[in-house]
């Protein structure tokens, strides 16, 4: 089982991410420090469709249209104070990458931070050799699955795909 209560680099169905248990504010803030990232909202990998439906204003039809897959749904929180250290506004980006690694993460039943493994403003990594050494030195675990496709997820807001 993957230890989600530490900081780890992992494969998604698009690029490598850095993550941890999204419910642990202290570890989430360490990821912000590692990336030199400000309070800009982060996204999460949802543990299940049911979790998404319980916490966000959306429909099962909308979720199943895009997830699992190479999409990030920007969804409105049902409770404005839900995970404020992930997003201090009314929405959170939610993903379920279509990968075996994600299915392992989902066994924890917890949301997982998902953000590209790069210093803020720098290029994302499609393989571990492309990860900045300053980041590699500060994480607890690296899961290397070779080279990935290299296309970040497509953002979906109110049912519309947004190019990044």
Domain ranges of the chain: 8-159
Q: What is the pLDDT of residue 164?
A: 66
Q: Which residues 6+ apart lie within 8 Å of 113 measured at CB? A: 18, 19, 20, 21, 22, 28, 31, 42, 43, 44, 45, 86
CATH class (in words) of the domain with range 8-159: alpha beta
Per-residue pLDDT reduced to its tens digit, 117-134: 998 889 999 999 999 999
**pLDDT tens digits, one per residue of 22-46:** 999 999 999 999 999 888 999 999 9
Average pLDDT over residues 4-10: 97
Which residues have CB under 8 Å from 60's CB, separation 6+?
A: 49, 53
Looking at residue 90, the DSSP 8-state letter turns out to be: S
What is the pTM assigned to this prediction? 0.94
């Amino acid at each position: 089982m993957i230890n989600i209560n530490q900081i780890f680099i992992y494969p998604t169905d698009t690029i490598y991410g850095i993550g941890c248990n999204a419910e642990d504010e202290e570890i989430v803030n360490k990821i912000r420090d590692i990336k030199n990232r400000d309070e800009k909202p982060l996204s999460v990998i949802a543990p299940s469709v049911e979790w998404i439906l319980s916490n966000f204003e959306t429909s099962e039809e909308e979720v199943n249209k895009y997830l699992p897959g190479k999409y990030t749904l920007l969804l409105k929180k049902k409770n404005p104070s839900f995970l404020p250290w992930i997003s201090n506004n009314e929405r959170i980006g939610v993903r379920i990458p279509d990968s075996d690694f994600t299915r392992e993460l989902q066994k924890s039943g917890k949301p997982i931070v998902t953000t590209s493994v790069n210093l803020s403003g720098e290029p994302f990594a499609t393989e571990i050799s492309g990860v900045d050494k300053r980041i590699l030195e500060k994480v607890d675990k690296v899961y290397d699955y070779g080279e990935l496709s290299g296309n970040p997820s497509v953002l979906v807001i109110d049912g519309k795909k947004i190019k990044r």
